[in-house]
Amino acid sequence: MARSIVLSNGELCVALDRFGEVRDFYYPHVGLEDHVRGHYLHRVGVWIDGVMSWFDEDAVWQIEIGCEEEALASKITARHPTLQVELTFKDIVYNERSIFLRRVKVSNLSSSVREIKLYFSQQFEIYKAHGGDTAYYDPASHSVIHYKGRRVFQIRAELDGELFSDYAIGIANFHGLQGSFRDADDGALSKNPIEHGPVDSIVGLYGTYTGGQSRVCHYWIVAAQSIALAQELNEYVTRKTPEYLMQMASNYWESWMKRMVPDFGDLKPAHIALYKRSLMHARSHVDLEGGILASCDSDMLQYGLDTYSYVWPRDAAYVALAFDMAGESAVAKRLFEFCSSVVGHDGYLMHKYLPDKSLGSSWHPWISDGKLQLPIQEDETALIVYSMYQHYLLTDDLELVGLLYAPVVEKAANFMLQYRDKNTSLPDTSYDLWEEKRGISTFTSAAVYGALVAAAELSKILGKAENEKRYREGSEVIRTAILAHLWDGGQGIFVKLLRSDGSFDPTLDASSVYGIFAFGILPPEDPRLVQAWERTVRALSYGIPAGGLARYEGDQYYRTDKESAGNPWIITTLWYAEYLIACAKKVQDLDRVREIFSWVVLHAQPSGVLSEQLDPKTGRQISATPLTWSHAAYVTAVLKYLKRSVELGST
Same-domain check for residues 78 and 207: yes
Separation between Cα atoms, residue 463 and residue 405, nearest integer Å: 12
Same-domain check for residues 334 and 460: yes
Same-domain check for residues 202 and 61: yes
Confidence (pLDDT) at 175: 75
Confidence (pLDDT) at 130: 75
Same-domain check for residues 320 and 242: no
The verdict on residue 64 lying in a domain is yes
Q: Give the end of a domain, one of 474, 495, 522.
A: 522
Confidence (pLDDT) at 501: 85
pTM of the complete model: 0.96
The verdict on residue 633 lying in a domain is no
Separation between Cα atoms, residue 561 and residue 34, nearest integer Å: 33
Confidence (pLDDT) at 268: 97
Q: Is 500 helix (H, G, I), strand (E, B) or coil?
A: coil
The verdict on residue 627 lying in a domain is no
Could you tell me how many helices (H) and strands (E) the chain has, helices first?
15, 31
Beta bridge partners of 17: none
Confidence (pLDDT) at 310: 96
Spell out, as residue ranges, where the chain has pLDDT lower than 70.
Answer: 1, 300-305, 650-651
Write out the DSSP string of 104-137: EEEEE-SSS-EEEEEEEEE---GGG--TT-EEEE
> What's the per-residue H, E or C state across 311-342?
ECHHHHHHHHHHHHHHCCHHHHHHHHHHHHHH
The verdict on residue 584 lying in a domain is no
Confidence (pLDDT) at 651: 57
Rg (the chain; Cα; Å): 26
Q: Give the end of a domain, one of 500, 522, 544.
A: 522
Same-domain check for residues 238 and 325: no
| CATH number of the domain where residue 245 is located | 2.70.98.10
Beta bridge partners of 286: 292
pLDDT tens figures, 93-137: 999 999 999 999 999 999 999 999 999 999 999 998 878 899 999
E strand map for 587-630: 613-614, 621-622
Separation between Cα atoms, residue 8 and residue 14, nearest integer Å: 6
- Helices 313-326 & 378-395 angle (0-180, nearest 10): 10
The verdict on residue 90 lying in a domain is yes
Same-domain check for residues 235 and 329: no
Same-domain check for residues 200 and 53: yes
**CA dist 485 to 158, 167, 431, 440, Å?**
68, 70, 18, 10
The 8-class DSSP code of residue 405 comes to: I
The verdict on residue 174 lying in a domain is yes
- The total domain count for the chain is 2
Same-domain check for residues 220 and 89: yes
Q: Give the end of a domain, one of 236, 256, 276.
A: 256
Residue 512's domain comprises 311-339+360-522
The verdict on residue 471 lying in a domain is yes
Number of other residues whose CB lies within 10 A of the CB of residue 577? 25
Separation between Cα atoms, residue 560 and residue 617, nearest integer Å: 9
Same-domain check for residues 335 and 232: no
**CA-closest candidate to residue 164, choices 214, 203, 220:** 203
Confidence (pLDDT) at 229: 98
Contact 216, 152 (CB under 8 A): no
**CA-closest candidate to residue 198, choices 292, 103, 124, 287:** 124
Q: What stretch of H or E contains 372?
A: strand 371-372
pLDDT tens figures, 150-174: 999 999 999 999 999 999 999 988 7
Separation between Cα atoms, residue 83 and residue 51, nearest integer Å: 8
Same-domain check for residues 315 and 244: no
The verdict on residue 261 lying in a domain is no
Give Cα 408 to chain centroid, integer Å: 25
| CATH number of the domain where residue 415 is located | 1.50.10.10
